[in-house]
Structure formats: structure tokens, C-alpha cells
Amino acid sequence: MNNTKIKQSAEFDKLADNYTDLRNEGAGFFVKYADTFSSYKVKHFSNIIQNRTEQNRTEQNRTEQNRTEQNRTEQNNINILEFGCGIGLNVPYFKNFFPNAKIHGCDISSESIQLAQQQYPDCKFDVVNTTAELQIYAQQIDAIFINGVFHHIPFDEHKSWLEALHSIMKPGSQIVIFENNPHNPLMKDYFKNCPLDINATMVQPDYLRKLVKSIWNNAKRTYTFFTPWQDSAFWFALEKCINFWLPLGAQYYVRARK
């Protein structure tokens, strides 16, 4: 393990016990939406994954009905990996939106992984310190969810972590990476003051999209969380009209398919 990795894991090992309080510090008015935001992130992720599986189903329907049945069973048993899962705050939402999926989480912080495993013994959590260690998931993973992790990884390591993630994905599987949007003034302010982000650097949306595209050959960047009211049909419809070009959502995600 090199020095940088020792520094990163030690940082979140110390923060794990108070993670939720530290995350909420500086969120001001938006603190009451913190859990709602997490839930909506997993909902967006689920919509992306389900659309893909719907597409699979349609394609298969055209050719072979019994293969569609097999595909449906596979959907129920998909393996989801949250890379950089921390203490497992997103797990309840995975269980809600993917009730039959097998949920895996990994992180470089062993303290965080221990807390996550205690809280959710039915899921599988692993400490992963190096890109090589990610190979424990080789060819097992149907979908990868990442939230707020790349701004903690040194920029010169981004490509190698993404390449390692690409290598463990099954063909046809998808990766969705959520990051805080540096173009949103409120998010920029929160990021500057959040104790979790003292050693972090915001990741530019186009930088991440291009990097992902260089590995997956396809990548889409979408701005999201223009408002906290993601369950309002009005705001949701409005967001759909502007989310590709107006860089003002509190977060953005980059997604790609293998």
C-alpha cells in the first residue's frame, strides 16, 4: 500500500463513527433532505438499470420467449456493487429498489466496512485497498453504483481505479458515478465547509465523462438535483428537459455500459 492510500483509509477510519453528523454539518436548510437525496440517487440508478434490462427483455422477446424468462430471473438475482460504500448508508435504498439483488460494498476504510457489515449482515462488504484487490469481484458484477468517492481519490489514480472497475463488470452491465457539481454555487459552498471533504477536490463533469468514455467507449453525463423535490412530477419533468445541458444541479452522474 502506498502512502496516499494509507492517508485516505486512515482519514475515513477516523470519521466512520460520526460520519452522518459530519455529512450533515454545513448542509443548512438541505439537511432534512439528506436521506431523501440518497434514496433518489438509488432510484435514478434503479431507473437506469431497469431501462437497460427492459431493453434486454424486448430484444429477447423478439427472438426467444424462454430466454426472456431466464433473463427475468437473472434480473432478480443481479449483483450490485457500491464502490466506496462507506458505512453503508445507501444499503436500505438498494434493498428497497432491488429487493432480490445481492448487494456488495467495498471501501478502503476498514472501520467503515466493519460498521456496514455489523448493520447489514445479509450484505457482503470488503476492504479493498488496491485496484488488484478489486479482482475478488471479477466478472461477477451486473451494476456498479458510486457516490461521492472520486473526489477523495487522487486524480492520478482515477484512471487505474476506473479500469479496474471496468474489468470486473459483466458484458452489458452498467456503471453510474454520482459526484458533486462544482458549477452549483450552493454545492461548492457545502463542499468547502464539509468536514468530510477537507482533503478532497471537486471533479469536473466533463473531465469525468471523457475519462469514463476513454475506457467504456460510451458515457453520458446528466446533471441532477436541481431541486430536492424529486418526487414532484412537475420538477421531475422540468429536470428531464434541462438535465443534459444546464450545469446547475447539485450533483451530476456519469454512466456507461460495458
Ligand X SMILES: C[S@@+](CC[C@H](N)C(=O)[O-])C[C@H]1O[C@@H](n2cnc3c(N)ncnc32)[C@H](O)[C@@H]1O
- Site for ligand X, rule CB under 6 A: 8, 12, 83-86, 89-90, 107-109, 112, 128, 147-149, 152-153, 161, 196
Residue 128 or 176: the one with the smaller Cβ distance to ligand X is 128
Query: CB of residue 40 vs ligand X: minimum separation in angstroms?
Result: 12
Cell numbers placing 31: 439537511
Query: CB of residue 11 vs ligand X: minimum separation in angstroms?
Result: 7
Query: CB of residue 23 vs ligand X: minimum separation in angstroms?
Result: 7
Residue 86 or 205: the one with the smaller Cβ distance to ligand X is 86
Q: Which residues of 108-136 are buried (b: 16+ CB within 10 A; e: fewer)?
A: bbbbbbebbbeebeebbbbbbbeeeebee
Query: CB of residue 86 vs ligand X: minimum separation in angstroms?
Result: 3
Residue 11 or 79: the one with the smaller Cβ distance to ligand X is 11
Calpha distance 163→166 (Å, rounded)? 5
Q: What is the DSSP letter of 248?
A: T
Residue 149 or 208: the one with the smaller Cβ distance to ligand X is 149
Calpha distance 152→177 (Å, rounded)? 13
Residue 53 or 98: the one with the smaller Cβ distance to ligand X is 98
- Residue of closest CB approach to ligand X: 86
Calpha distance 109→88 (Å, rounded)? 12
Calpha distance 213→21 (Å, rounded)? 35
Query: CB of residue 171 vs ligand X: minimum separation in angstroms?
Result: 24
Which residue has 483509509 as its cell numbers?
9
